[in-house]
């Protein structure tokens, strides 16, 4: 298990955090997936799917229009996956560093007290978040921002965000993705952001493609759209300020207006961070930018 956390200070903890995350990311590219039957004990098996990956629809969406939207999404996903696979490694590294530096210096990030962020996966070619996660977790406990990270519950688009205080709180699931264990080293249940007593200020989100009006194209699972909808409803019920939704994007992931088709279930983001800088797209982002 990764759950062997001991207190580290400053530079040691930052180094440890980067090493754990980056080594794990590298291993997902270097090694073929391990058969489910032979996973070691530190690997959590994701339950078998009850249905295939499809984006949810509602009665408000015309079935014929939805089919056309799915075809357009599928085509754009194929293109972006190919483009990301062919991205120059040096350029990728430069853009990763630029994007994370912009986030870490941003006033909306510095002002946040509680955030949800993804743990980047190199095999999925997501924008790296290891520096962001490391900086949050390197602070003394009393100064630390609350950090919640995703844990996939099933193949039916259900996901939770659980609080972690160290990269050692992460385990590898059967898809070779780092996620939080259900309990900490003391055997206590991790805090679920949906049950937290205080609101989250910020979501740092992944995606395959984005446009400058805030449209986001995910990977077809519907996990983030469903979770964000639930959290926004919770914030509204509790009369909390809605969190700022910020997506991280390589330059090549920003597409022309109209290229991303959406349904009523697709959640737009408030802003993008690309190597070129912070791109606000909603009044909330303009206010906090």
Per-residue pLDDT tens digits for 41-71: 344 544 433 323 334 444 456 777 888 889 9
The Cα-based distances of 129 to 16, 180, 206 in angstroms read 15, 15, 10
Lowest mean pLDDT among 146-150, 220-224, 232-236: 220-224
C-alpha 253/C-alpha 27 separation (Å) is 24
pLDDT band at 146; cut points 50, 70, 90: very high
pLDDT at 11 exceeding the cut of 80? no
Distance separating alpha carbons of residues 240 and 183, to the nearest angstrom: 28
pLDDT digits (tens, 9 = 90+) for 15-42: 343 344 443 443 333 333 333 333 333 4
Q: What pLDDT sits at residue 53?
A: 33
pLDDT score for 1: 31
Name the token pair of 255.
């597409």
Spell out where 129-274 has E strands. 146-152, 159-164, 170-173, 178-180, 202-205, 209-210, 216-217, 244-248, 271-274
For 214, counting Cβ atoms within 10 Å of its Cβ (0-12 exposed, 13-18 middle, 19+ buried), the class is buried
Q: What is the mean pLDDT of residues 244-250?
A: 98
C-alpha span between 265 and 7 (Å, rounded): 42
Q: Identify the residue with better confidence: 8 or 199.
A: 199
- Token digits of residue 230: 């639930």
Question: Is 221 within 8 Å of 53 (Cβ atoms)?
Answer: yes
* 154: confidence class by pLDDT, cuts 50, 70, 90: confident
Averaged confidence pLDDT in the chain:
82
* Global model pTM greater than 0.85: no
Residue among 204, 192, 172, 2 nearest 104 (CA): 204
Tokens of 31: 């090694």
On the question of pLDDT at 102 being above 90, the answer is yes
- Per the CB < 8 A criterion, the answer to whether 203 and 228 are in contact is yes
Cα within 13 Å of Cα(254), Cβ side: 18
DSSP 214: S
From residue 271, how far is each of 125, 199, 227, 259, 284 by CA, in Å? Answer: 20, 19, 18, 18, 9
Which stretches does DSSP call E strand in the chain? Answer: 43-44, 114-117, 146-152, 159-164, 170-173, 178-180, 202-205, 209-210, 216-217, 244-248, 271-274, 277-280
Q: Do residues 103 and 10 make contact, with C-beta atoms less than 8 angstroms apart?
A: no
Of 63-77, 207-221, 251-265, least confident by mean pLDDT is 63-77
Give the closest residue to 203 by CA, choosing from 234, 244, 165, 232: 244
The residues, ordered by sequence, that sit 6+ positions from 251 with a Cβ below 8 Å of its Cβ are 95, 274, 275, 276
């Amino acid at each position: 298990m990764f759950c062997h956390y001991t207190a580290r200070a400053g530079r040691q903890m930052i180094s440890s955090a980067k090493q754990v995350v980056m080594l794990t990311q590298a291993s997902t590219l270097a090694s073929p997936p391990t058969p489910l039957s032979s996973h070691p004990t530190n690997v959590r098996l994701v339950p078998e799917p009850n249905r295939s990956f499809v984006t949810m629809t509602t009665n408000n969406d015309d079935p014929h229009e939805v089919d056309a939207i799915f075809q357009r999404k599928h085509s754009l996903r194929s293109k972006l996956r190919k483009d990301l696979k062919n991205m120059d490694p040096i350029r990728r590294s430069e853009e990763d560093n630029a994007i994370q530096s912009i986030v870490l210096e941003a006033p909306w990030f510095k002002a946040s007290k509680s955030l949800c962020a993804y743990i980047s996966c190199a095999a999925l070619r997501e924008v790296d978040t290891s520096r962001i996660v490391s900086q949050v977790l390197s602070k003394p406990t009393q100064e630390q921002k609350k950090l919640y990270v995703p844990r996939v519950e099933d193949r039916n688009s259900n996901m939770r965000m659980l609080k972690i205080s160290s990269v050692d709180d992460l385990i590898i699931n059967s898809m070779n993705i780092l996620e939080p264990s259900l309990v900490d080293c003391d055997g206590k249940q991790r805090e679920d952001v949906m049950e937290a007593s205080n609101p989250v200020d910020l979501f740092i989100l992944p995606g395959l493609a984005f446009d400058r009006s805030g449209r986001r194209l995910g990977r077809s699972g519907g996990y983030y759209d469903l979770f964000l909808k639930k959290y926004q409803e919770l914030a509204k019920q509790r009369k909390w300020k809605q969190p700022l939704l910020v997506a991280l994007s390589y330059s090549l992931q920003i597409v022309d207006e109209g290229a991303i088709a959406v349904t009523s279930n697709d959640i737009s983001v408030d802003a993008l961070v690309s190597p070129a800088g912070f791109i606000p797209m909603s009044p909330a982002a303009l206010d906090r930018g």
